[in-house]
Structure 1
Amino acid sequence: MNQPSSHILGKAWLYCTVFLTGAAVMVIELLGTRLIAPFYGASLYVWTSLIAVTLIALALGYYVGGIWADRSRSGLSFIIAAAGLLTLIIPWLTEPVLLATDPFGLRLGSFISTLILFSPSLIMLGMVGPFAVKLSTSALANVGASTGSIYAVSTVGSVIGTLFLGFYLFPLVGSREIFIGLGIALLALAVIVAIIERNYLKSMMVMAPAALLVIVSAGLYPQIANSGKAESSDAFQTRFERESLYGWVRVIDKPKENIRLLTVDASTIGAASISHGENLLTYQKIVTRIPALVPNLNNALLIGQGAGHMAMALKDYGIVTDTLEIDPAVAEAASNHFGFTPTGRTIIGDARYEVRQLKGPYDLIILDVFTGGSEPTHLLTVEFLTQLRQLLADQGILALNFVSFLENGQNAALASVAKTLAQVFPHQQVFISDPGKDFNDFIFLATNHAINLDDAALPSTHRDWLKQRHLNIDPSRGVVLTDNLSQLERLQIRKSEHYRRMIVDSLGTRHFVR
């Protein structure tokens, strides 16, 4: 032990350690939303909570790790082993933590659950950097270079971990399995570091803390591996489930109610009867009235395919429909469990990118992406609506479904949709899906020409259905939604919390915990 510590410890293994732990930080941060999203959604609030918790945890880790490093020459293996154990148990703790925080609501509940689940392991990983700096520094003159190199390598590890997870690992392996694998990998790294510590300190005792945590982890592993499995229920049966890049996609049957649901996390995007397969979402029935409003429709674009019922309804009128769906798991579920057969092109991708590739013109464009869950705010801005208008034929029509509260016509979110549409289209009509209910689907029809609901050429059945549901929305209470500033998510907080509670209560909280 007479040799300078930097001579013994400033080797490749130390940089490998900070590289791997840096990668682990980003894996935990990015995957955290996939454990939280089925329960709280993947809204801005969930992402904000996770980023804030990550920064808080790392700050604490840096501070505590620096103090520990100044007081002891050993302990790095214990820190990594503790991070491994705390990462390993995250999937095990997810269900009880989410259920316990549910009463706090969407924003506070997501923050508290994120804090409990992820901060312990992130704090331990944050401690690695200061400890590595201490071990790699032999003199005050070397502090700057040592600190810079350690944190540079750690950051490179974070970059590689992010790319490896997003581009390769997550599309192939579930989030729970990745958490468990990461925990085991950190425990294995801790064993290697413990052996190195034993060699330079010439004491077997330095291995004991890390070894103890490895043994505890091995004992807990069977329970962790078996946690999070879906429970059977007489009330509903899960026919299909797939964890995609965009959420947990499920097809759920409720036999007693003769209902089959297509859900993504805690949002329903399709519903049909089990016995006959007919569409059960009232708002989608407006598509059977649109051909009467605008005759001679030949082709359509459906953005937000869901179960595909609107495209199938348009088929009965001889309308060929291209469908655009971001999630391939949703497209698979629609084909295999809802009998969806495309009549036009099937496009899988994000709407903002894919719309730019389309040529048009379309006689009808249906924008059906605003479910009760998180808002894809980038799909309801002046800029995107302008792109859609450019794809429309001169006599074409844009149909937009929006979920919100009516609030006696005073809802600022509804007013904002109307005001934003008015920036792009000279004419619009608004219809409510289920008259008499405050929480509802609202269908906006935007055109370049006026639509006359009293037109004698319109069949009376269609005319009566539309006029019973027709609304007048005052846009003065709203704001224009743009790419630069969209306040939609803020305006829809109450809607998101109400819808989430409604769906979770319907299927049970445990169904949305993985």
Structure 2
Amino acid sequence: MAKSLSNASAHTKPDSVSALDRTVLYLTVSLTGASVMVLELLGTRLIGPFYGVSIYVWSSLISVTMIALALGYWLGGMIADRIPGLRLSYLIASAAVATLLIPILIRPVLLLTDPMGLRAGAFFSALLLFTVPLTLLAMTGPYVIKLAARQLANVGALSGSVYAVSTLGSVIGTIALGFYLLPMTGARAVLYGLSALLGLLASTLVLYERRGLGGNVATLCVAVIVFACFGGGALAYEHHRPQPWGKGLTLLYESESVYGWVRVIDDQAQKVRFMMSDASTISAADLDNVRSGLLSYQWVTQRLPVFRPAARSALLIGLGGGHIAAGLERQGVKTDAIEIDPAVAYAASRYFHYHPSGDLLIGDARYQIRRLNKTYDFIIHDCFTGGSEPAHLMSIETLRELKAHLNSGGILAINFVGFAEGERRMPAQLVYRTLGEVFEHRRVYVSEPDSEFNDFIFFAADEPINVHPEAASARTLDLLAKRRFFGMTEGERIVTDDFNPLESLQVSKAEMYRKVLLERVGMDVLLR
């Protein structure tokens, strides 16, 4: 390219860049800018199913991206000054190869970093997988500026243009990935496609750099065909790629939606069908009766009519397999549901035989709640997923919005995973205190009475929450009494949209949840 630029200068002004040079260079920085954002965003889809999609995974990926960009800018500028023989096409080709290696290295890297724990494991997984390709892509910016600059007089304008075009490419890459590529293909297929695209760009740059040395259109056509075949083969492989799981596990359904990696898996050994979203089991059922859930906190939630026998309507936020809704509907409680992930809603209907008696709304809970024009006797808040809960749905502002949609005497039920003892119970105490700021009465149940690590099921209402013995069997009353928790105390602060420390306080919970998950379903189902 250095040769082409020098040749072009003979026919252009000394301080200008030819139209062809400008087009090629801007195309390069726009595609590399898009590639940087695609890799950063894909990181959550590759690491999240193993470590959970949490603030720690996002922080790790953003930090690694910033490290790689800083290193790439420095190296790119230094190499452009000191090693002029290193062509731009070499950098792009190397980035293509490094990107191609990511899906190959995912499994061994995750297994290598697993002993490091949640935070260190997420960071070093991102560091090992993404530093090299991101650094190579970042090197192109200063390298392009060096190649295109004629005189010091136009370096400022040229630099601004290069980084502006690169940023615009990043925007386009972000939108293309989130709106189209991920829902249509999946993370690994996008990586293969990105590698092929970078390879094609490198081939184009080789021809451009060697315009006077025998490069021709035929060579470019061959490169296009090779990379098209490679990309098509990679997509075909992804659609038929066998899962490296142990015997007795059967994958029934898999979808990589914009919200998570959703799978429905049959475990023949345990006779259980479960649904997973990233690194969380969000539903489980006996293979002989998939309509009935096996998760014990769901059993407690389905007993809500024992406290309000006259109740006839409910809203479930977080559908899962639909077992809570089905249990309430069998008791005559018509149940609407809000589910953010259409893949989860489909799996609940197709593989757990969920058939809504009320409305099924697909979308973010807070957005859908603001649009509701109904009130309910019960609202069940069950949004725990991926090893973490969406903390913005636990704030006092959200609770007030939910209260506005409760009938007089209605009950809000919240499922919250945490610890019952010691300093680690602080998150549960914060939620309990926040509920007390909105409702007059509270009651707490747990899914496992003898376990420190538990699902807490918080009931909150403006009227006393009492059991109606005539509405339940003696066995139900006995089980409810055993699961009632009396040890919950007030937290020191409340959770608000402005002050919301839940996720940072839930590190121990996330690590314990992941440990329990691995014991129950095994590590293989978290690996791609």
Partners of 2:60 and 2:342 in 1: CA distance: 28
Q: Which residue of 2 is the match for residue 56 of structure 1?
A: 67
| Displacement after TM superposition at 1:453 (Å) | 4.4
Q: 1:17-61 CA distances to partner (integer Å, 9 max, x unpaired)?
A: 111111111111111111111111110100000011001001100
Aligned residue number for residue 420 of structure 1:
434
Q: SS at 1:445's partner residue?
A: strand
Where structure 1 has 5 or more consecutive residues not aligned to the other structure, the ranges are 205-210
Listed one character per residue, the Cα deviations across residues 463-497 of structure 1 (whole Å, up to 9, x for unaligned) are: 33322222224443443111112111122111111
* Aligned pairs (5 A) from 1:205-354: 229-277=242-290, 278-354=292-368
Per-residue CA distance 1:220-255 (angstroms, 9 max, x = gap): 998998587412532322221111111111111111
Give 1:143-182 correspondences, 5 Å limit: 143-182=155-194
Residue 64 (structure 2) pairs with residue 47 (structure 1): no
Q: 1:169 to 1:76 in 2, by over 3 A?
A: same
Mapped to 1, the partners of 2:351 and 2:334 lie a distance apart of: 22
Measure the CA separation in 2 of the matches of 1:221 and 1:167. 21
Deviation at 1:424, TM superposition (A): 0.8
Who is 1:118 aligned against?
130
Check if 1:26 corresponds to 2:40: no
- Would you say 1:501 and 2:515 are equivalent positions? yes
Going from structure 1 to structure 2, the CA distance change for 1:296 and 1:312 (only over 3 Å counts) comes to same
Say whether 1:469 aligns with 2:483: yes
Structure 2: distance between partners of 1:451 and 1:151: 61
**Is the partner of 1:399 in helix, strand or coil?**
strand
Cα deviation per residue 1:59-95 (whole Å; 9 max; x = unaligned)? 1000000011112054100001111111111111111
CA 1:220 to 1:301, structure 2 compared with 1: closer, same or farther past 3 Å?
closer
How far apart are residue 501 of structure 1 and its match? 2.0
Aligned to 1:106: 118
Superposed CA RMSD = 2.7
Cα distance in 2 between the residues matched to 1:166 and 1:362: 34
In 1, Cα distance between the equivalents of 2:110 and 2:234?
18
Between the aligned partners of 1:289 and 1:27, the Cα distance in structure 2 is 45
Q: Summarize the Cα distance change of 1:288–1:167 in structure 2 as closer, same or farther, 3 Å threshold.
A: closer
- Find the counterpart in structure 2 of residue 447 from structure 1: 461
Q: What SS is found at the alignment partner of 1:344?
A: coil
Compared CA separation, residues 410 and 459, structure 1 to 2 (3 A): farther
**What secondary structure is seen at the aligned counterpart in 1 of 2:402?**
helix
Counterpart code for 2:327: A
* Counterpart Cα distance in 1 of 2:423 and 2:159: 59
What secondary structure sits across from 2:407 in the alignment?
A: strand
CA distance in 1, matches of 2:259, 2:387: 12
Counterpart in the other structure of 1:490:
504
Stretch deviating more after TM superposition (63-72 or 289-298): 289-298
Structure 1 residue 387 corresponds to structure 2 residue 401:
yes
- 1:208 alignment counterpart: none
**Cα distance between partner residues in 1 of 2:314 and 2:185:** 36
Assess if the C-alpha contact under 8 Å between 2:314 and 2:335 holds in 1. Answer: yes
Structure 1 residues 464, 511: closer, same or farther in 2, change over 3 A?
A: closer
Say if 1:396 and 1:219 are closer, same or farther in 2 by CA, change over 3 A. Answer: closer
In 2 relative to 1, CA 409–178 (structure 1 residues): closer, same or farther, beyond 3 Å?
A: closer
Contact between 1:102 and 1:109, CA under 8 Å: does it hold in 2? yes
Cα offset, 1:203, TM superposition: 8.6
> Is the 1:371–1:403 contact (alpha carbons within 8 Å) kept by the matching residues of 2?
no
TM-aligned CA distance change 1:198 to 1:417, over 3 Å:
same
Q: Secondary structure at the match of 1:148?
A: helix
Q: Alignment partner of 1:411: what SS? A: helix
8 Å contact 1:371–1:402 — kept in the other structure?
Answer: no
Tell me the SS of whatever aligns to 1:393.
strand
SS in 2 for 1:452: coil
Cα offset, 1:102, TM superposition:
0.7
Alpha-carbon distance between aligned partners in 2 of 1:414 and 1:473, rounded to the nearest angstrom? 11
Q: Percent of aligned pairs with the same residue?
A: 46
**Structure 1 CA distance for aligned equivalents of residues 184 and 231 of structure 2:** 25
Question: Secondary structure at the residue paired with 1:324?
Answer: strand
> Structure 1's 455 and 449: CA in aligned 2 closer, same or farther, altered over 3 A?
farther
Alignment match, 1:67 = 78
Secondary structure of the residue aligned to 2:98 is helix
Please, which moves more after superposition, 241-250 or 44-53? Answer: 241-250
Contact 1:372 1:403 in 2 (8 A): no
Q: Within 2, Cα distance between the matches of 1:24 and 1:323?
A: 38
Q: Distance in 1 between matches of 2:189 and 2:231?
A: 15
Please, which of 62, 70, 91 is the counterpart of residue 79 of structure 1? Answer: 91
User: Which deviates the most, 465-474 or 65-74?
Assistant: 465-474
Amino acid across the alignment from 1:252: I
Contact 1:25 1:158 in 2 (8 A): yes
User: Distance between the aligned counterparts of 1:467 and 1:508, measured in 2?
Assistant: 33
Residues in 2 aligned to 1:294 and 1:218: alpha-carbon distance in whole angstroms: 63
SS in 2 for 1:500: helix
Q: Shift in Å at residue 295 of structure 1?
A: 2.2
Pair 431,345 (structure 1): closer, same or farther in 2 beyond 3 Å: same
Contact 2:189 2:234 in 1 (8 A): no
Q: Secondary structure at the match of 2:244?
A: coil
Residue 462 of structure 1, CA deviation = 3.9
CA contact (8 A) 2:430 2:495 kept: yes
Residue 461 of structure 1 deviates from its aligned partner by 4.0
CA contact (8 A) 2:69 2:138 kept: yes
**TM-score where L is the length of structure 2:** 0.90
| Deviation digits for residues 109-131 of structure 1 (CA, Å, limit 9, x no counterpart) | 01001011011000000000001
- Structure 2: how far apart are the matches of 1:273 and 1:11? 63
Q: CA deviation at 1:256?
A: 2.1
Give the superposition deviation at 1:307.
0.6
Deviation of 1:151 (Å) = 0.7
Contact residue 453 and residue 467 of structure 1 kept, 8 A: no
- Per the normalisation by structure 1, the TM-score is 0.92
Q: Of the candidates 411, 415, 439, which is equivalent to residue 397 of structure 1?
A: 411
Structure 2 letter corresponding to 1:158? S
